[in-house]
Amino acid sequence: MALLFRSFFATAVSGQFMVNSQGLPTNGVQGFMKHLFMAAEHADPTHIIICWDMGSKTFRNEVYQDYKSNRNAPPVELIPQFDLAKEVAGRFNLSNVGVSGYEADDCIGTLAKEYKGERKVSVVSGDQDLLQLLDEGIEIMLLQKGFGNYKTYTKNGFVEEKGITPEQFIDVKALMGDTSDGYPGVKGIGEKTAMKLIQEHGDIEGILQNLSSLTPSQKKKIEADLDMLHLSRKLAEIHCQVPLDVKLSECVWNQVSSEHLDVVEEMELKVLRRYLLGSNVMLPISG
């Protein structure tokens, strides 16, 4: 979903919605599929699974009703592309996964943790929240500006760069909050202070056990927002036990064939067609 939104707004800002003859905007879908295929070229996977949010409400809204309530409604040109993106991916024999009541991140986390022991797992997204999933066998390919540019994190690389573990990153998020997701954490504590506190005390419980060693300002802020701190911790953590029914044998990645180009022509995905014909994900066209 993060890649679909990114693709939509990249061209929507100049009014390029790429409307087809049926009056359906396709800019987000075409960009999303291009991101996906470029990631496949980069990572050379054996299997691909695409995880989606399934509606705006999840179990986190039951915990905190204002979760993500600060987000604007999606533009009218984007709304029909939610289903279209899944349809196009499905026509390329790619597996779409999503469970009502959970976020795509939860599905990603569940799958990554399930398969990390038997194969290498690469997660592609523009969402830094997924860094908490880093583990032995799990890497995160964070999309940078443009197409095909990634900052790839491993667990060891993350620890070396940030000075905390992926699990501790959840506690950092709990302290600093997330304006995008609409939970405040502890008011007045930003990323820099949150990182420093977790580096020094290990986790939130360690901070609470050593409140007397904090500055008077830090102690006052945390004590004033203690309930929200614990709540933010629950909201920040990716839930890795989603009830998924995924058969890995049905998620095998095969390169794009001339048969798939028929789908592109049918849906008038001209930008995607140009990319595929010049890419390494396209099998040679015989004849």
Query: Which tokens is 230 given?
Result: 């614990």
Calculate the average pLDDT of the chain.
95
> Where residue 17 falls among pLDDT bands split at 50, 70, 90?
very high
Extract the tokens encoding 211: 């409140």
Place of tokens 């309530």: 69
When pLDDT is averaged across residues 257-269 and rounded to a whole number, the result is: 92
What is the rounded CA–CA span in Å between residue 174 and residue 232?
A: 5
DSSP letter, residue 284: P
The pLDDT of residue 59 is: 95
> Can you give the pLDDT at residue 56?
82
**Statement: residue 286 has pLDDT above 70:** no
What does DSSP assign to residue 98? -
- The whole-angstrom separation of Cα 204 and Cα 172 is 9
| C-alpha dihedral sign at 95, 99, 102, 107 | negative
Sign of CA dihedral 57, 60, 62, 65: negative
Q: What architecture (CATH level 2) is domain 162-236?
A: Orthogonal Bundle (1.10)
User: How do residues 51-109 score in pLDDT, each as one tens digit?
Assistant: 999 988 999 999 999 999 888 899 999 999 999 999 999 999 999 999 999 999 999 99
**Residue with the larger pLDDT of the pair 71 and 137:** 137
Taken as a whole, the chain contains a residue count of: 287
Which CB contacts under 8 angstroms, 24+ apart, belong to 228-232? Answer: 228/183, 228/184, 228/185, 228/186, 229/174, 229/175, 229/185, 229/186, 229/204, 230/174, 230/204, 231/63, 231/64, 231/183, 232/173, 232/174, 232/175, 232/177, 232/183, 232/184, 232/185, 232/186
Residue 48: the pLDDT is 98
Structural Rg of the chain based on CA atoms: 21
DSSP of 14-34: TT---B-TTS-B-HHHHHHHH
Grade residue 194 by pLDDT with cuts at 50, 70 and 90: very high
Please give the model's pTM, rounded to 2 decimal places: 0.94
What DSSP designation does 99 have?
-
On the question of pLDDT at 287 being above 70, the answer is no
pLDDT at 187 over 90: yes
Asked whether 127 and 104 are in contact (CB, 8 A), the reply is: no
pLDDT at 41 over 50: yes
Task: Give the tens place of pLDDT for each residue, 208-222.
Answer: 999 999 999 999 999
Amino acid 284: pLDDT: 83
Provide the 8-state DSSP code for 242. Answer: -
Q: Which CATH architecture has domain 2-154+239-277?
A: 3-Layer(aba) Sandwich (3.40)
Residue-range domain boundaries for the chain: 2-154+239-277, 162-236
For residues 52 and 106, give the distance between their C-alpha atoms in angstroms, rounded to a whole number: 10
Here the tokens at position 61 are 């809204």
pLDDT digits 0-9 by tens, 231-247: 999 999 999 999 999 99
pLDDT at 55: 86
Which residue bears the tokens 């359906």?
Answer: 24
Which tokens sit at 158?
């993350």
